[in-house]
Chains A and B, each alone.
Chain A
Amino acid sequence: MDINDFIEKFSSCLNHTPTSAISPDTEFKKLDEWSSIFALIVIAMVDSDYQRVLTAEDIRNSNTLADLFNVIQSK
């Protein structure tokens, strides 16, 4: 698993936020586009592209995209 690949996939879920604004240090829950529906989009992406299950707790305990990537990688 590659974090840059994950960042690219995460960015492709976004509608308005420029890709240049997304990095491993991005605090994703502070993004203007972040919402409960967006969380489901990310869960769906992780399910289809990584065959891993992201839980509500995983998201709650992660601040940055690097945190989220590490959680996915550890599963």
Chain B
Amino acid sequence: MAIFSIPGIALRAISAAVPVQCEDNETLDLIPEKDRKAFIEQTGIRYRRIAPQGVTASDLCIHAAEPLLATLKWAPADIDVLIFITQTPDYIIPNTASVIHQRLGLSKKCLALDINLGCSGYVYGLSVIGSLLQNMSGSKGLLLVGDCSTSVISREDKSTWPLFSDAGSATAIEQHDGGRWHFNLQSDGSGYQNIMIRGGGQRHPFTAASLAVHEFSPGISRNDLQMKLDGINVFNFALREVTPNITGLLDAIHVPQESIDHFVLHQGNKLMLECIRKKMKESEHKFPYSLYHFGNTSSASIPVTIVTELLAKITGQKSDLLLSGFGVGLSWGSVYLTSDHPIILPLIEV
């Protein structure tokens, strides 16, 4: 296990942005009418936000970042590190962090890079930005995490379309003596095909055939440029790995589980998260869900859940948080951190 600590960093503020456009699973023709109630009950997902064509994950993240910087009174020139985590970049080349760097007016002294990760991305992103900032005295960083997953999912695929939703987030982090974050990050590449867009990369380059729609089973049709999700394998992966990852971290750093104020887990689906919660013998009020209104927002689901479910609970006070992301890769990880009077902005709808 990659268990490690990063000293000298502090979480200052979080914001999240979602598109206004909303779809309701209760009226979604893709799910047979007789199955809709059970689907919503079991997945926990009723509403999903769909970005209009032309709106990208970076747009949503910038919508989240601008008011965050203004609230913190951080000038663009103050930012030393910009990290953008997404699976839906603006372009194949260049990296989207460079585009964001220009749009936010950041200075040339700022390091900017992309990371391609999905549902584990927020936790991994905190580890990367924390590692960089801890060595730069007085430095400030911006972690932007988001996906417009609906742009790469078939509307004719009932195994993905009713689950995913679009969102972007911004998290402000600062070098600060005293703060310490603890991570447990893991990977299992043998599951790389479980969540995948097969075509359009170098292994299977785009051709006219990439656009041909194949029906894999009734209600599951997509082309080679759209995401496939092997639901059962991913479900079993989460049941198998997430609980030991979290308890392994807490054991290693000698933090009792009962001292955690909130467990904010990637919002895959409610059935999966409830299984994990029960395995951990943890109470419902410590496991917030944003699934009902926002679905699976991929890499942004942890900050979206903090913004929509914990704003009043962690603003203006100290809270011990356990954040855990898991998914595509397969990749998963947890972080234990204390948020000390963070600024949490209300959800931004654009």
Is B75 positioned at the interface, with any CB of A under 8 Å from its CB? no
**Which of A32, A35, A43, A48 contacts B232 (CB under 8 A)?**
A43
B343 to chain A, nearest CB (A): 38
Is B275 positioned at the interface, with any CB of A under 8 Å from its CB? yes
Dominant SS at the B interface?
Answer: helix
Residues of A within 8 A of B292 (CB): none
Residue of B159, B233, B235, B271 with most chain A CB atoms under a 10 A cut-off? B235
Binary interface encoding of chain B residues 26-50 relative to chain A, with 1 for a CB under 8 A from any of its CBs, else 0: 0000000011001100110000000
A18 to B232, CA, bound (A): 26
Cβ-defined contact, B275 with A48, below 8 A: yes
A48 to B272, CA, bound (A): 12
Cβ-defined contact, B235 with A37, below 8 A: no
Is B108 positioned at the interface, with any CB of A under 8 Å from its CB? no
Q: How large is the interface on A (under 10, 10 to 19, 20 to 34, 35 or more residues)?
A: 10 to 19
Is A55 positioned at the interface, with any CB of B under 8 Å from its CB? yes
Binary interface encoding of chain A residues 35-54 relative to chain B, with 1 for a CB under 8 A from any of its CBs, else 0: 11111110110011000011
Given A53-B240, A55-B232, A55-B236: A40 and B271 within 8 A (CB)? Answer: yes
Is A21 positioned at the interface, with any CB of B under 8 Å from its CB? no
**Which of B38, B236, B239, B278 contacts A37 (CB under 8 A)?**
B38
Is B24 positioned at the interface, with any CB of A under 8 Å from its CB? no
A56 to B231, CA, bound (A): 9
Residues of A within 8 A of B233 (CB): 55-56
Residues of B within 8 A of A32 (CB): 34
A32 to chain B, nearest CB (A): 8
Given A47-B239, A48-B278: A40 and B232 within 8 A (CB)? Answer: yes
Given A48-B275, A48-B278: A43 and B240 within 8 A (CB)? Answer: no
**Which of A38, A41, A44, A56 contacts B239 (CB under 8 A)?**
A44
Cβ-defined contact, A40 with B42, below 8 A: yes
Is B230 positioned at the interface, with any CB of A under 8 Å from its CB? yes
A62 to B341, CA, bound (A): 54
Is A3 positioned at the interface, with any CB of B under 8 Å from its CB? no
Cβ-defined contact, B232 with A39, below 8 A: yes
Cβ-defined contact, A44 with B232, below 8 A: no
Cβ-defined contact, B35 with A37, below 8 A: yes
Residues of B within 8 A of A43 (CB): 232, 235-236, 239
Residues of A within 8 A of B43 (CB): 37
A35 to B34, CA, bound (A): 11
Binary interface encoding of chain B residues 245-288 relative to chain A, with 1 for a CB under 8 A from any of its CBs, else 0: 00000000000000000000000010110010011000000000
Cβ-defined contact, A40 with B278, below 8 A: no
List the 3 closest pairs (A to B, CB-CB), nearest first.
A56-B232, A37-B42, A44-B275
What are 27 pairs between A and B in contact, CB < 8 Å?
A15-B38, A32-B34, A35-B38, A35-B39, A36-B158, A36-B159, A37-B35, A37-B38, A38-B38, A39-B232, A40-B42, A40-B232, A41-B42, A43-B232, A43-B235, A43-B239, A44-B239, A44-B272, A44-B275, A47-B239, A47-B275, A48-B278, A48-B279, A53-B236, A53-B239, A55-B232, A56-B230
* Chain B positions near chain A (C-beta within 8 angstroms): 34-35, 38-39, 42-43, 158-159, 230-233, 235-236, 239-240, 269, 271-272, 275, 278-279
* Chain A positions near chain B (C-beta within 8 angstroms): 15, 32-33, 35-41, 43-44, 47-48, 53-56, 59
